[in-house]
Amino acid sequence: MSTTAIANPIPTPARPAPITLVGPIGWMRANLFAGWVSSLVSLLLLFLIVKWALGFIEWGVINAVWSVPNNQTQACRDLRGTGACWAVITEKHRFILFGTYPYEEQWRAFAAILIFIALFIVSALRRFWRKELLLVWVAALGSIGVLMWGGVLGLAYVPQERWGGLVITLILATFGLAFAFPLAILVALGRRSRLPAIKALCVIYVELIRGVPLISLLFMASVMFPLFLPEGMNIDKLLRAQIAIILFAGAYLAEVVRGGLQALSRGQYEAADALGLSYWKKTGFIVLPQALRLVIPPLVNTFIGFFKDTSLVLIIGIFDLLTAGKTAIIEPAWQGFGIEVYLTVGFIYFCFCFAMSRYSQNLEAELNRHRVR
């Protein structure tokens, strides 16, 4: 043994792994054809995927009708079941995006949508997580209000009843978050308070709201709310729905924030007490900055939930993106093309939610980097 080692001091290079274990073939053997059950599943699924994809392309691209003259939908009706009628989108896309906003002024609604998107992107970048971001939010939401209402700077006044489409969805979700978040922090702090009356109030609020569906709160906003106010005082429907969404979001966000407060180690609280900080200083300088950082990923996930849940205002007849889509196919000429419209509206929702969910996953990985070895 030892003599051979001396006689042959240069080690022979390791033989390459068999071609069936590395490279594309190895990958396929490990991931597609490991055993006959796995092979069968792979082949069956691949067959079904290809079949459905081809069917969808045939329906959605090859046989599809992209435009029709003057609401003459006969060409579409002839193709029912074999081809998509994207003409309904060509014809109605402005209505789906902007609702009944005056046609010449729709650039304003479009600009508002762009401001919303820019606001989301700026808020998502960690570089901009500073106090000044709050000012950016105030400025952005203010300019959206000016753009939508008009009446100043030479913009024609557009009453709120005529707003609609995507911009309503964005307004409900963003304003909902902007107001629900401070509420949620207060409630979460209240729920962990040592003062029994405050704790009880917060627990009742959270459990009551979380125990009932959002629809019942929206019904309450649309049917019962007018009874709550003194005679003559009237709040428009969109604002009432917005209040319901804020109350609803507040309860769910409060639970997320409470999770962060609980995850913070006790030593942090005690150290702040030992420094002699008052309750609000302790909360503002020590507790919240750490607790909120812990819960950013679940906060984003909760926000995705609200973004989707704003579609429920359809039930009380507020003109958001989904309602606009549903209304676009009420006209007799366009009846029966629901699938095309819902696919399009779904695609818009998907773009927003997918971006947020990817962002949340990246952020989670980034914030947990110190924990991963």
Shortest distance, CB of residue 229 to another protein, whole angstroms?
6
Out of 75, 124, 136, 343, the only residue in the binding site for another protein (CB under 8 A) is 343
Tell which one of 68, 115, 183, 215 touches another protein (CB under 8 A): 215
Read off the DSSP letter of residue 151: -
Q: What is the footprint of another protein within residues 168-197 (CB under 8 A)?
A: 194-197
For the chain, give percent helix, strand, coil, nearest 5: 75, 0, 25
CB of 323 to another protein, least distance (A): 10
Question: In terms of CB distance, is 110 or 349 closer to another protein?
Answer: 349
Which C-beta is closer to another protein: that of 203 or that of 223?
A: 223
Q: Which of 110, 175, 179, 342 binds another protein (CB under 8 A)?
A: 342
- The nearest distance, CB 312 to another protein, in angstroms, is 6
> How many helices and strands (H and E) does the chain possess?
18, 0
x-or-dash string of contact with another protein, 297-336, rule CB under 8 A = -------x---xx-xx-xx------x---x---------x
Choose between 291 and 329: whose C-beta lies nearer to another protein. 329
Q: Which of 59, 137, 175, 349 binds another protein (CB under 8 A)?
A: 349
SS3 65: strand
Near another protein by CB under 8 A, which window of 15-23, 175-183, 216-224, 292-300? 216-224
Neighbours of 341 (CB within 10 A): 23
According to the binding rule CB under 8 A, does residue 89 interact with another protein? no
* 231 is a site residue for another protein (CB under 8 A): yes
CA–CA distances in Å: residue 366 to residues 28, 47, 261, 362: 31, 38, 21, 6
DSSP 69-116: STT-THHHHHTTTTS-BTHHHHHHHHHHHHTTS-GGGHHHHHHHHHHH
Q: Which is nearer to another protein, 9 or 211 (CB)?
A: 211
Please answer whether residues 172 and 244 qualify as being in contact, where contact means their C-beta atoms are separated by less than 8 angstroms: no
Q: Which long-range contacts (CB under 8 A, 24 or more apart) does 140-148 make?
A: 140/115, 140/116, 141/174, 141/175, 141/178, 143/115, 144/112, 144/115, 144/116, 144/171, 147/108, 147/109, 147/111, 147/112, 147/115, 148/108, 148/109, 148/112
Site for another protein contains 295 (CB under 8 A): no
Residue 124 binds another protein (CB under 8 A)? no
Helix 87-98 crosses helix 321-328 at what angle (to 10 degrees)? 140
Please list, in sequence order, all residues whose beta carbon lies within 8 angstroms of the beta carbon of residue 336, skipping any fewer than 6 positions away.
77, 80, 329
Shortest Å, Cβ 32 to another protein: 6
Q: Could you say whether residue 41 binds another protein (CB under 8 A)? A: yes
Q: How many CA atoms lie within 13 A of 80 on its CB side?
A: 9
Please identify which residue in 228, 234, 236, 273 interacts with another protein, judged by CB under 8 A: 228
Instruction: Name the segment binding another protein (CB under 8 A); options: 5-13, 94-102, 115-123, 346-354.
Output: 346-354
Partnered with residue 85 across adjacent β-strands are 65
Gap between the terminal Cα atoms of the chain: 41
Q: Does 29 bind another protein (CB under 8 A)?
A: no
By the rule CB under 8 A, 357 interacts with another protein: yes
Residue that is written with structure tokens 């753009």 in the block = 147
Distance CA 168, CA 162 (A): 11
Verify binding: residue 267, another protein, rule CB under 8 A. no
Q: Which residue lies nearer to another protein by CB, 148 or 209? A: 209
Selection from 182, 184, 234 nearest residue 209 by Cα: 184
Q: How many residues bind another protein (CB under 8 A)?
A: 57
Residues that bind another protein (CB under 8 A): 30-32, 34, 38, 41-42, 45-46, 49, 80-81, 194-198, 201, 208, 210-216, 219-220, 223-224, 226-231, 304, 308-309, 311-312, 314-315, 322, 326, 336, 338-339, 342-343, 345-346, 349-350, 353-354, 357
